[in-house]
Amino acid sequence: MYDKEKLKPGYTGKFVIQHHFSRNEHFDLRLQFPVESIAKSLADYSDKRPKKGVEPTPSTPDKPGNVLRSWAVPKHRIPEHKPLLATETENHAMEYASFNKTIPEGQYGAGTVEIFDRGTYTIDRLEYDKKYVFTMHGKKVKGQFALIKTGRKSFLWLKTKGEKKACISEYLRRIASGIDYVRPTMIPEIWDLSQDPPMLKSGVKAHTLETLKNSLVKNGLSDPMRWIGKLFISGSSTSYNYKEDGDFDVDVEYDSDKIRKLYSNLAKKDGEELKNHVQTILDKNRSIAIPGTKITYSFMLLEQRDLPGSDGIYDLIENRWIKGPIKIPLDFDPDIAFSKQKKIASRIVGEIYHIIGDIKIVVKDLKRIDQYIKNYDRMEPKRVIAVLHLQNLCMNLAGWRKDMWRMHDKAKQDIHPIYPAFNYGSDWDEKYIIFKYIARYGCHEPVEYLYTFFDEDDPYLEMIKKIMPADSVGRFYAPKP
């Protein structure tokens, strides 16, 4: 339907975001897409429900042109820290980009439509009908965004950090990075790429040591090198895998006994209290960037004799690689390499979608019961049964969430998952890849994902949250604003 010859990186079209005050208030995101046939791409609105395709007329001729590909955003806001659900709806004619009035009662989409913002957008990168990364140039909405397909009509709409190889979001990319795309080199701002393997640049090393020392001394921990054992560089900066260039990860090996002897105010702190105290100091460096880059520090305390879990590990003090770096061929296709794990993840995601769908149906039934219960006493037993069914579905969904994060934590300990879908091999790395694919769908947090289907003031959302609050089913991993 869409013209793939024109729809490629560099393509520029119009966009409009309309605030639709219909029965369910929402935003409509509309992007101009080139099509091979205007008539076949538009919906027939001759009756209340739209039908696919219209008969060619002078206003909708059967010829190539442009339409507004459309998505409804229930939360009626622009994505910032979290991705938003965007459900694809019917294509609209280009003339609809200036529509700014009320649709009368009885017509499809009845309600007031106001233009929130409009302008142009440019496609930066795309995988046809799977992922669209684009830069929006509007008065209110500016920057790079992405639409990631997660279901037949479901997409995640999110704001990226400006990278042209955006995956899902800064947060989800950290989880899904192991199954993402490969970049040709490591970060040149950090590594001397003239050497094989690349070695840490002397200026980066000097700045790292100075930043670490100044931070600790400023907060009362003088002469820190007396209790710091080794410094390791780990994480995405040590790998050829495509990941966000967000943090420069430095793992700090420390001796807790020496800290207690050197600093009297810390002598009585137990292991966990001491670690949290020092880590809080180190976390203050997250806003400090390596000179000439946007890459900020991330220091993490490491118990003695432990090595960080990473594809590559570099000893900063001795200037040598302990592990890696692992270079992956540029033609590496993770979807082929991990096809078995991807299928398992798809099956799990399908189960989660099924549960969420059942919850939506039960809530719809409850709302219908609420309309009649005032006049019909016999509806009360049905309501009790429906509420019990809702509770069971919610706890089932919470169980999936809890179990997935158990699988995520298998790097630290061997926890056998409850559900048979996860009984796949003995290597936790393979299970972790399954988790990463689930994260691509946004279903690693199925409880929070369910919340996106309800308006914030929906009384049944409050009921669901009481049954299944996020903090009752495990750690809450959503990024803080």
What pLDDT is recorded for position 128? 85
Residue 326 near residue 239 (C-beta atoms within 8 A): yes
DSSP-assigned letters across all residues of 40-98:
HHSEE-SSSS-EE-----SSS-SSSEEEEEEEEETT-S--SSS-EEEEE---B-GGGGG
State the average pLDDT for the chain: 78
Separation of alpha carbons 347 and 443, rounded Å: 12
Tokens 């409880």 map to which residue? Answer: 447
Across 440-452, b (16+ Cβ under 10 Å) vs e yields bbbbbbbbebbbb
What pLDDT is recorded for position 246? 55
Share of the chain above pLDDT 70, in %: 77
What pLDDT is recorded for position 31? 96
Separation of alpha carbons 240 and 385, rounded Å: 54
What pLDDT is recorded for position 452? 75
- Ramachandran sector of residue 68 (left: φ over 0; alpha: ψ -120 to 50; beta: rest): beta
What pLDDT is recorded for position 316? 92
Which amino acid type is present at position 423? N
Residues 6+ apart with CB under 8 A from 88: 69, 70, 71, 153, 154, 155
More confident residue, 454 or 211: 211
Q: Tell me which range, 233-237, 262-266, 378-382, is most confidently predicted by mean pLDDT.
A: 262-266
Separation of alpha carbons 369 and 286, rounded Å: 52
Q: pLDDT band for position 235 (50/70/90)?
A: confident
More confident residue, 449 or 334: 449
Question: Using one digit for the tens of pLDDT, what is the confidence trace for 280-301?
Answer: 888 888 778 888 887 888 888 8
**pLDDT at residue 478 is higher than 50:** no
Residues 6+ apart with CB under 8 A from 457: none
Question: Using one digit for the tens of pLDDT, what is the confidence trace for 50-102?
Answer: 666 666 667 667 788 899 999 998 877 888 766 788 888 889 888 888 888 88
Question: Using one digit for the tens of pLDDT, what is the confidence trace for 22-55?
Answer: 877 889 999 999 998 888 888 766 555 566 666 6
What pLDDT is recorded for position 416? 38
What average pLDDT score do residues 137-156 get? 85
Residues 6+ apart with CB under 8 A from 157: 29, 71, 73, 79, 83, 84, 85, 86, 145, 146, 147
More confident residue, 274 or 413: 274
Which helix (H) or strand (E) segment holds residue 409: the answer is none
Torsion angles phi and psi, residue 405, rounded to 5: -75, -25
Separation of alpha carbons 57 and 275, rounded Å: 72
Separation of alpha carbons 139 and 148, rounded Å: 24
Q: pLDDT band for position 334 (50/70/90)?
A: low
Tokens 């219209």 map to which residue? Answer: 54
Torsion angles phi and psi, residue 383, rounded to 5: -65, -40
Distances 377 to 127, 362, 365 between C-alpha atoms, Å: 55, 20, 16
What pLDDT is recorded for position 14? 93
Residues 6+ apart with CB under 8 A from 38: 60, 61, 62, 63, 64, 65, 66, 67, 93
Tokens 């393997």 map to which residue? Answer: 197
What pLDDT is recorded for position 383? 87
DSSP-assigned letters across all residues of 350-370:
HHHHHHHHHHHHHHHHHHHHH
Helices (H), 373-427: 379-408
Residue 433 near residue 424 (C-beta atoms within 8 A): no
Separation of alpha carbons 127 and 368, rounded Å: 41
What average pLDDT score do residues 337-364 get? 86
- Angle at Cα 125 formed by Cα 121 and Cα 131, nearest 5°? 95
